[in-house]
C-alpha cells in the first residue's frame, strides 16, 4: 500500500504530547477536540488524533497518518477525527506545522457573545506578543464562523477566514481552530487565545 512505510513516529509523539498537555488543562472534554502535526507538504501528510479517543490517555496508535483526502494513508482499524477535513484545508491555506482544535467554555462563550459582529476584538494586551504581535497598540480580530453542519462547508468557512497574522478561527458555539509553525507554537497560540477570551468575557462584568 502506497505510503505504508512513512515513518511518522516523531509527529505522532508530538500529537500525543500536545493532546496530553491540552487535556490536562481540561480543554478536551468528553473526548472532543482533535490535534494534528504535519509530516510533509508534497504530498500533504499529517498525523492526527483518531475519532473518539480519550486524549488524556492517548496511545500512539490513536494517532493516524492521513493524506490530503483526509483518509488514513496506512492500514488502520481506527477512523480519523470527523473534522480532519478542516485540518486539510488549513494546512493547504496556511503556512503551519500543527493545528489544535478544542471546545472550551470560554471559547464557546466568546464565539456566541461576539457572533453578531463576526469577530472577537483583542487589543492592549501583553499576551498579544504570544500571538506574534509585538507592535505598539497591537490590535487583532479573531474571526467567528457559523457552525456549519456539513464539515466540507465548515472547512471552507474556516479556511476562508484564516489569515497568517491571526493564527486562530472561532466556530460559533463549537470551539476554536488554532495553529502554529510547530506543535510548540500551536500550543502557545491556543493558550494565549484562551487567556484572552476569558479576560474579555470576565472584563464585561466590571464598569
- In this structure, the dihedral spanned by the alpha carbons of residues 144, 147, 150 and 154, taken in order and rounded to 10 degrees, is 20
Q: Judge whether 55 and 33 are in contact, CB under 8 Å.
A: yes
Q: In angstroms, give the least distance from the CB of 33 to Zn ion.
A: 6
In the complex with Zn ion, the residue whose CB is nearer, 35 or 122, is 35
Cβ closer to Zn ion: 34 or 94? 34
User: At its nearest, how many Å lie between Zn ion and the CB of residue 81?
Assistant: 8
**Nearest distance, CB of residue 83 and Zn ion, angstroms:** 5
Complex with Zn ion: residue 13 or 153, whichever CB lies closer: 153
Least distance from Zn ion to the Cβ atom of residue 30, Å: 11
User: Contacts with Zn ion: how many residues (CB under 5 A)?
Assistant: 1
Positions in 160-189 near Zn ion (CB under 5 A) = 175
- 3 state SS for 16-83: HHHHHHHHHCCCCHHHCCEEEEEEECCCCEEEEEECCCCHHHCCHHHEEEEECCCCECCCCCCCECCC
CB-based closest residue to Zn ion: 175
Q: Which is nearer to Zn ion, 155 or 187 (CB)?
A: 155
Find out whether 130 and 192 touch, Cβ atoms under 8 Å: yes
Burial of residue 122 (CB within 10 Å: 0-12, 13-18, 19+) is buried
Phi, psi for 70 (deg, rounded to 5): 80, 5
Least distance (Å) between residue 34 CB and Zn ion = 7
Q: Element (H or E) spanning 99, and its range?
A: strand 98-102
- Output 67 or 175, the one with its CB closest to Zn ion: 175
State the residues that interact with Zn ion by CB under 5 A: 175
Amino acid at each position: 500500500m502506497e505510503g505504508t512505510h512513512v515513518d511518522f513516529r516523531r509527529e505522532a509523539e508530538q500529537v500525543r504530547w500536545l493532546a496530553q498537555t491540552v487535556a490536562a488543562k481540561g480543554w478536551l472534554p468528553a473526548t472532543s477536540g482533535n490535534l494534528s502535526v504535519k509530516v510533509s507538504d508534497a504530498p500533504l501528510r499529517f498525523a492526527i488524533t483518531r475519532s473518539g479517543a480519550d486524549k488524556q490517555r492517548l496511545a500512539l496508535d490513536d494517532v493516524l497518518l492521513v493524506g490530503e483526502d483526509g483518509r488514513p494513508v496506512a492500514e488502520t482499524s481506527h477512523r480519523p477525527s470527523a473534522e480532519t477535513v478542516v485540518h486539510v484545508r488549513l494546512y493547504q491555506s496556511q503556512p503551519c506545522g500543527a493545528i489544535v482544535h478544542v471546545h472550551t467554555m470560554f471559547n464557546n462563550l466568546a464565539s456566541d457573545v461576539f457572533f453578531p459582529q463576526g469577530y472577537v476584538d483583542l487589543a492592549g494586551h501583553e499576551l498579544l506578543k504570544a500571538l506574534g504581535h509585538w507592535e505598539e497598540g497591537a490590535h487583532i480580530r479573531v474571526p467567528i464562523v457559523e457552525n456549519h453542519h456539513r464539515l466540507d462547508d465548515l472547512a471552507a468557512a474556516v479556511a476562508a477566514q484564516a489569515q497568517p497574522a491571526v493564527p486562530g478561527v472561532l466556530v460559533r458555539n463549537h470551539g476554536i481552530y488554532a495553529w502554529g509553525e510547530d506543535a510548540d507554537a500551536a500550543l502557545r497560540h491556543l493558550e494565549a487565545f484562551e487567556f484572552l477570551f476569558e479576560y474579555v468575557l470576565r472584563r464585561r462584568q466590571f464598569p
